[in-house]
């Protein structure tokens, strides 16, 4: 259930343990840690377990070339591998890497799949309870599945009509829209979450995980209503970080499974899932004439080029282009 960083002894002599500790000292997201460690391990294994200090440009180029030519990975995947290697050498090992020569992956970038508004609404109506509201937040607010499941009660601001998204990709907070249509179901979900929290308190539990050492700074905050998850799990479990029995949020996998089942039930012939709601949110805004910069801010993209992909998704007929045979 928990997506938790494994504990590491500070004096561990293992290279990968020290690399993980270094990443954590930079306060990178756990997903980034896992991604970087995956590529570094792949690099080391590709070169028959040679230590990275014994390798340089030639080995990096051979590894990246293998990813592009033999494995036929996308350009983004190759860039991720390159970023991990450069981070390890320049930041961790303090070895400057310059003048790399390798074939860049030229696999064309695929356009994201989007739902029509009718399709999105039909998928949502097939869902129940927490999965339904999570899907509404992904479609109505542009949240990632991880962001939706980790929302806390204090992140919902009904007065300002916005949601503060804190535990995001790249650990960057942002604000996004809070649709009026979700006020009532969100208030019901908050009430349900607080009732469950009160029951936990009566049973001698009721604490919730707080990130980045906040539990030490604010000792009572983990028991406060506002810090509780909007979507609490149905059962208590032992937090492996602290060995405390507490209630976590619902898993991403449970929502993904429900959404996939709803899509299959509809017989929708699209390769779609939870992230399709986020793509559809951006596309609807673009169709409505929303400025690309505003969409970038709502989605939390660090680079406008990432947001520009939606320009290619909006249908040609929505840009006023008509086929001559229809004129």
- The residues assigned a catalytic role are 144, 169, 275, 278, 301, 310
Cβ-proximal residues to 258 (8 Å cutoff; 6+ apart), any chain: 127, 128, 131
The label of the residue with tokens 């954590």 reads 24
Region for residue 300 given its phi and psi (left: phi exceeds 0; alpha: psi -120 to 50; beta: otherwise): left
- CA–CA distance, 46 with 226 (Å, rounded to integer): 48
- Is residue 51 within 8 A of residue 236, CB to CB? The reply is no
Phi and psi (nearest 5°) for 156? -95, 115
List, as own/partner pairs, every contact residues 79-85 make where C-beta atoms lie below 8 angstroms and the sequence separation is at least 24, other chains included. 80/35, 80/39, 81/39, 81/42, 81/43, 83/36, 84/35, 84/36, 84/38, 84/39, 84/40, 84/43, 85/39, 85/40, 85/43, 85/60
Tokens of 286: 């673009």
- CA–CA distance, 40 with 28 (Å, rounded to integer): 16
Q: Which of 89, 79, 14 is nearest to 53 (CA)?
A: 89
- CA–CA distance, 250 with 235 (Å, rounded to integer): 9
The label of the residue with tokens 């390890």 reads 88
- CA–CA distance, 314 with 204 (Å, rounded to integer): 53
- CA–CA distance, 245 with 239 (Å, rounded to integer): 6
H or E, element range at 54: none
What Rg, from alpha-carbon coordinates, does the chain have?
23
């Amino acid at each position: 259930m928990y997506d938790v960083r494994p504990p590491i002894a500070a004096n561990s002599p293992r290279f990968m343990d020290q690399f993980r500790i270094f990443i954590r000292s930079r306060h990178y997201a756990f997903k980034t840690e896992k991604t970087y460690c995956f590529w570094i391990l792949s690099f080391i294994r590709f070169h028959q377990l040679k230590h990275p200090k014994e390798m340089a440009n030639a080995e990096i180029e051979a590894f990246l070339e293998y990813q592009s030519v033999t494995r036929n990975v996308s350009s983004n995947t190759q860039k991720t591998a390159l970023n991990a290697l450069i981070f390890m050498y320049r930041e961790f090992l303090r070895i400057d890497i310059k003048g790399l020569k390798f074939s860049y992956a030229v696999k064309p970038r695929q356009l994201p799949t989007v739902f029509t508004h009718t399709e999105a609404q039909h998928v949502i109506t097939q869902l129940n309870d927490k999965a339904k509201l999570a899907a509404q937040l992904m479609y109505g607010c542009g949240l990632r599945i991880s962001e939706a499941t980790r929302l806390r009660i204090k992140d919902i601001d009904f007065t300002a009509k916005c949601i503060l998204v804190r535990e995001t990709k790249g650990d960057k907070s942002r604000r996004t829209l809070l649709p009026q249509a979700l006020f009532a179901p969100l208030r019901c979900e908050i009430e349900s979450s607080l009732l469950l929290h009160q029951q936990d308190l009566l049973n001698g539990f009721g604490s919730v995980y707080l990130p980045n050492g906040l539990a030490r700074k604010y000792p009572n905050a983990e028991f406060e209503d506002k810090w509780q998850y909007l979507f609490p799990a149905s059962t208590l479990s032992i937090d492996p970080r602290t060995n405390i029995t507490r209630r976590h949020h619902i898993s991403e996998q449970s929502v993904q499974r429900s959404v996939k089942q709803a899509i299959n039930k509809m017989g929708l012939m699209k390769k779609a899932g939870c992230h399709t709601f986020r793509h559809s949110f951006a596309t609807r805004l673009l169709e409505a004439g929303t400025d690309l910069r505003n969409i970038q801010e709502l989605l939390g993209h660090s680079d406008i080029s990432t947001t520009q992909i939606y320009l290619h998704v909006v249908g040609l007929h929505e840009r006023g282009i008509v086929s001559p045979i229809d004129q």
